[in-house]
Structure 1
């Protein structure tokens, strides 16, 4: 499920005009952050946004699935990240709204950095 460089560039073409983002590789995928908050990720050739109990419903209503991966005992679902609908992805105004919502959710659920906490 490695994120392809081509798909990552494709995603960035849509996101970078909206606001500055940075990427970082992890576990074969790509994390997408705004400031210090990771709000999205690319796994395979799919873009996932962070969700919460309230926003998850609209992803499910759009027929989207959570990020998942296989282990020996079966499939694990990571319900914190849902795949973004293609029609939202290609509509700049909708993309901005959904991305901003995801950033707000990721900001609320971000765990404090333990190293910074020790310095306090």
Structure 2
């Protein structure tokens, strides 16, 4: 499920509950939209047969609305309590997001597709269509990898993202992006697509 996969991915990357819930909401929206091309097989909609294609699944739509309401409500509550910054908090926001490095990713990945960024314990998660495929931490960009794609990173001697967890070194399945990605938009799209596909496979496996 896209929603559950997005939640687990965000939590694994160090995101707090609010960030994970928002990711889950975006994942649910992606899952809902994917039902538009499917033919209903169960429930009342199944009576429509092929005519159900092009119509959003009612259950997926309801779940999406519930999660969107929860995420929005939690964000509003935390903002009012001073626990998080509003979406537009002025020029001092997170030190201009590491000197606007994270913001530059919108242009870098323009040939891949639209992305969004969410703060995560001093870093930023990079999302596309509700699923996290990248991580900005310590001024560096890391991309999602799995058993099918990690060889591309290892061949370039690009290491994984590591952090301390309870005093011990731990690592996530995100590897440092190659330097040419920042200069070549086609290369950026290629590596982003690999990371995105790894993120999709990770969601399906759960």
Deviates more, 1:14-23 or 1:36-45: 14-23
Q: 1:15 aligns with which of 100, 106, 109?
A: 109
Q: 1:88 to 1:16 in 2, by over 3 A?
A: closer
What is the correspondence of 1:1-120 to structure 2 with a 5 Å cutoff? 4-71=98-165, 73-78=167-172, 80-110=173-203
**Higher Cα Rg, which structure:** 2
SS of the equivalent of 1:11 reads helix
Contact (CA 8 Å) 2:123, 2:138: kept in 1 or not?
yes
List gaps (5 residues or longer) in structure 2: 1-93
TM-score by length of structure 2 reads: 0.48
Alpha-carbon separation, structure 2, partners of 1:58 and 1:26: 26
TM-score by length of structure 1 reads: 0.79
The structure where helix makes up a greater share of residues is: 2
List gaps (5 residues or longer) in structure 1: 113-120
The structure where strand makes up a greater share of residues is: 1
Alpha-carbon separation, structure 2, partners of 1:88 and 1:49: 11
